[in-house]
Amino acid sequence: MMIENEYVQIISKGKHLPTLVAFSQVNTPPGKFKPYKAIIEADVNIIFVNDHGNLWYQHGIVGYSIDPKEAAEMLIRAARELGNGHVTTFGTSMGAYGALLYGLLGGADKCLAFGVESVLNKQGSRSQLHMPDGLKVKYRRLKPLMNQNTMKIWLLASESDEWDLISQYWLRDIPNVHTYTVKGSFHPGVQPVHLENKLVHLIETFTKGNETEEDIPRRGILEENQEAVVALYHADHIKKVKKDKKYHIKYLKRMFSTCKGESLYWLRLGEAYHRLRQHDDAEEAWWKSIDLCEYQFEAYAKLGALYKRRGKRERAEKLLKHSILINPWHAHAYHSLGLMYMQAGDLDEAGHYLKCAVKINRGNPTFRESLITFFMKDSDLGYAEASFFANRIRNSFD
C-alpha cells in the first residue's frame, strides 16, 4: 500500500527501475524533504520520507505506523511494488540513521548513507543536541541490528568531522559494511559529491549494482589510521565537553606520534594554539595541515582570517577565496571576506559575501550583526531599520 502525505512523497519513474527510499535530515518542516533537488534527477523511483520532528525516526512514519519496524516493513514493501523489486535506502546525517535503521528493519537490499551517527545520545553528539527532551529512544545503537543483517551498506563520512569518523570506526568490523571518507567537507560529507556533480551518478550506480569506489570523489584515507581516529575523537570531547584549553593542547601534543601524518590533527592543533593566543604556532600548524591535504578548506580560511587581522589583505583574500572554492558552504570564509571588504570600503563586495554567510548559516548572531552594520554603512540607516532589512534578507532564504 502506497501512502502519500506531508511526510511521504512518491516519485514514480518506471516499473523497470529500482527504488530509492530517501530519509530527510534534521529541521525539515512538514511537506519538505532534504535532500531533494540534489537527487530528484536520478534515474530511479524515489520515496521521500520526512521524520515528524527531530525524532531520529524512533517513532515510525506518519500515515504508516508509529512502530519503526512496522513502518519500515510497510515502506520497503511499497518501494518494491513501485519499481523492479530492488530497494536502496539513502540519507544524510539524521537521515542516514533513518536509512540504516529502516533498511535493516524493513529488509532493504542496500543502504547508502552519509554522516551516520551510529550510537545516539552520546554526550556532545548531534542527536543529543537536536532530539526533543524526554524522547523515548527505541533503537540507540545500530550495530546489534547490523550484525544480524546482510544488507550491503556503504557509509561515507567527512574527513573533517570527528563524530562522523568515530561513528564509522565503531562499525568497522562488520563484513557487509564498507566505509569511506571524503575530503574538503563539513558533516555529513555529501557536499563534495554533489559539488562535483557525482551524487546522482553515485545513486544510480549504487542502486543498479554497478558501483565502484571510483564513483566517490575526494576520497580520504584518515580512517585507515584507526588510532588517530580514536585519539582525535577524544581530543574533540575534551575541547567541547571539558572545555579545558590547557589540558586540550597537552592532550593534542601527546597524540603527535600517532597523528602527525593527519591533516585534521594539525588543523585542530592550530586551533588550540590560536585559543591560547599563540598565533605564530597556529599559523605554522595550519600550513602543515594544508601541506598534508590540498582540500583542507578550514585551514585556508583560518589562515585567511589571521592574515586579515594582520592587515595582509591580498594574501588573506586569496586564501579565503580558495577555501570557498574547495567548500562553497563555508560560511565563516564568506563572513571574513565580507568584513575585510567592508573595512576597505568596498561595500558591493562586502554585501555579497555577508549575505552569503547569512544564507548559509542564518542562526549565527555574529553574521546577522555584521549584515546590520553593512546596511548602516551602505544606506545610512539606523540600527532598527538596518536590523529589519537584515532579518528580511535572512528570512528570504527559507
Q: Is the pLDDT of residue 397 over 80?
A: no
370 to 298, 355, 364, 388: CA distances (angstroms): 21, 10, 10, 13
Residue 39 in any domain: the answer is yes
d(CA 2, CA 8): 9
Whether residues 238 and 169 share a domain: the answer is no
pLDDT category of residue 104 using cuts at 50, 70 and 90: very high
Is the CB of residue 357 less than 8 Å from the CB of residue 301?
no
Mean of all residue pLDDT scores within the chain: 94
**Do 176 and 257 fall within a single domain?**
no
Q: What are the angstrom distances between the C-alpha of 80 and each of 50, 68, 74, 390? A: 19, 18, 10, 48
Residue 3 inside a domain? The answer is: no
Domain annotation covers residue 2? no
Residue 337 lies in a domain: yes
Asked, for residue 38, whether it belongs to a domain, the answer is yes
Instruction: Return the bridge partners of 91, or none.
Output: 23, 113
Render pLDDT for 117-158 as a digit per residue (tens, 0 to 9).
999 999 889 999 999 999 999 999 999 999 999 999 999 999
Are 45 and 97 found together in one domain?
Answer: yes
Closest CA to 89 of 107, 79, 103, 71: 103
Looking at residue 145, what is its pLDDT? 96
**pLDDT more than 70, % of the chain:** 99
Q: State whether 177 and 294 are in the same domain.
A: no
My answer on whether omega of the bond before 328 falls inside 30° of 0, hence cis, is: no
Cα separation, 398 vs 203, whole angstroms: 27
118 and 137 in a single domain? The answer is: yes
State the cell numbers at 368: 546577522
Domain of residue 307, CATH code: 1.25.40.10
Amino acid at 261: G
For 169, 219, 250, 252, the CA distances from 233, given in Å and listed in that order, are: 10, 20, 15, 11
Cβ-count burial of 203 within 10 angstroms (0-12 exposed, 13-18 middle, 19+ buried)? buried
Residue 372: the pLDDT is 87
| 374 and 230 share one domain | yes
User: Which among 224, 241, 266 is the end of a domain?
Assistant: 224
Q: Say whether both 116 and 23 belong to one domain.
A: yes
Q: Is residue 289 part of a domain?
A: yes
* pLDDT tens, position by position, 59-98: 999 999 999 999 999 999 999 999 999 999 999 999 999 9
pTM: 0.93
How many other CB atoms sit within 10 Å of the CB of residue 16?
8
Contact status, residue 11 vs residue 74, Cβ threshold 8 Å: no
Pair (121, 230) in one structural domain: no
How many angstroms separate the CA atoms of 289 and 311, rounded?
23
Final residue of a domain: which of 193, 224, 255?
A: 224
| Shared domain check, 233 and 189 | no
Q: 379 with 276, same domain?
A: yes
- Phi first, then psi: what are they for 331, rounded to 5°? -60, -35
The pLDDT of residue 177:
96
Instruction: Confirm whether 271 is domain-assigned.
Output: yes
Nearest to 188 by CA among 113, 121, 122, 131: 113
pLDDT band at 332 (very low <50, low <70, confident <90, very high): very high
Is the torsion defined by CA of 128, 130, 136, 141 positive or negative? negative
Task: Note the pLDDT of residue 170.
Answer: 96
45-49 and 8-11 strand pairing: antiparallel
Residue 243 in this model has a pLDDT that exceeds 90? no
The Cα–Cα gap between 155 and 206 comes to 12
Does residue 1 register a pLDDT over 70? no
Boundary (domain end) residue, out of 224, 257, 282: 224
CATH number of the domain bearing residue 82: 3.40.50.1820
Within this chain, do residues 210 and 286 fall inside the same structural domain, yes or no?
Answer: no
Please give the residue range of the domain that contains residue 158. 8-224
Decide: 301 and 353 in contact? Cβ < 8 Å. Answer: no
Domain count, the chain: 2
Residues 286 and 346 in one domain: yes
